[in-house]
Amino acid sequence: MNLSETKAFLVGKGFSETVDAAVILGSGLGGFTAMVENGISVPYQEIPGFPEVTVAGHGGELIQGMVGDKRVLVYSGRFHHYEGHPLERTVIPVRIASEFNAKSLVVSNAAGSINTRFSVGDLMLIDDFMRFGFKSSTGNEMASTRYANNNEIKLAHKVGLDLGIQLRQGTYMFVKGPVYETSAEIRAFRYLGADAVGMSTVPELLEAQKLGLKSLGITLITNMSTGVSKQKLEHGEIKEVADSRKEDFGRLVAEILQRM
């Protein structure tokens, strides 16, 4: 299945041929779809070329509609490498966004905090990332990777100030998962300079950069990572924390989309 066939299918469902931007929603953040006006929604399982979504808490639908003045593709639910999808497939949403001529991409995720100064519920802008020991972008090139999104980070901080939403900034450690980390791994990651740890987002950001889209990654801290607090980690908590920040997250992303 090539991307132009996927696009043709979606246009057949009523999608416009072009969009301004795309948003990929992480675990528990599916509530953002309420920000979309005049949206047309298509379940992932109907879309030719789309893999199936399995993790609880992921809606699994693609919506095209308006957020403020911008026409946006919103992906509620994502494809994780740990679910067995090859990296090439985890970035299909980004490639489709590019096929619709999206100029910018906001990618969100739930992650554990490594930084002891952060708290559960914090929103963190991803200014750089680390990839721990496995292939994490789709290219075969051996060239070094420099991910650069300084302008988008600046813009997001400005939006945060204007809306009165406190934002953190930091480095995201990408692990394959699906198991959570050991305390020793978290200590090591902290020593290396990582602020948060999660199992997604990096392939999508790199693909966006490769395709020439402006990109911004936003992490919601849903738990302190292993060993940082005594609490045991459970997937259910992610949803609770995400729900408690739903409103701020929605306002933040909606306004970033207007200005990006």
Decide if residue 203 touches ligand HPA (CB under 6 A).
no
> Cis peptide leading into 86, omega within 30 of 0?
no
**Which C-beta is closer to ligand HPA: that of 104 or that of 223?**
223
Smallest separation (angstroms) from ligand HPA to the CB of 195: 12
**Set 41, 66, 82, 229: catalytic member:** 82
> Pick from 3, 188, 211, 233: which binds ligand HPA (CB under 6 A)?
233
Known catalytic membership, residue 223: yes
Chain centroid, CA 82 distance in Å: 15
Known catalytic membership, residue 235: yes
Decide if residue 199 touches ligand HPA (CB under 6 A).
yes
Known catalytic membership, residue 17: no
Which candidate, 155, 229, 178, 207, places its Cα nearest to that of 27? 178
Known catalytic membership, residue 38: no
Smallest separation (angstroms) from ligand HPA to the CB of 2: 32
Using DSSP bridges, classify how beta strands 70-76 and 21-25 pair: parallel, antiparallel or unpaired: parallel
Q: For residues 149, 153, 159 and 163, what is the CA-based torsion angle, rounded to 10 degrees?
A: 140
H or E segment to which residue 59 belongs: none
Of 59-67, 145-153, 203-211, 219-227: span binding ligand HPA (CB under 6 A): 219-227
Evaluated on CA atoms 57, 106, 91, 175, the torsion sign reads negative
Catalytic residues: 27, 58, 80, 82-83, 110, 199-200, 223, 235
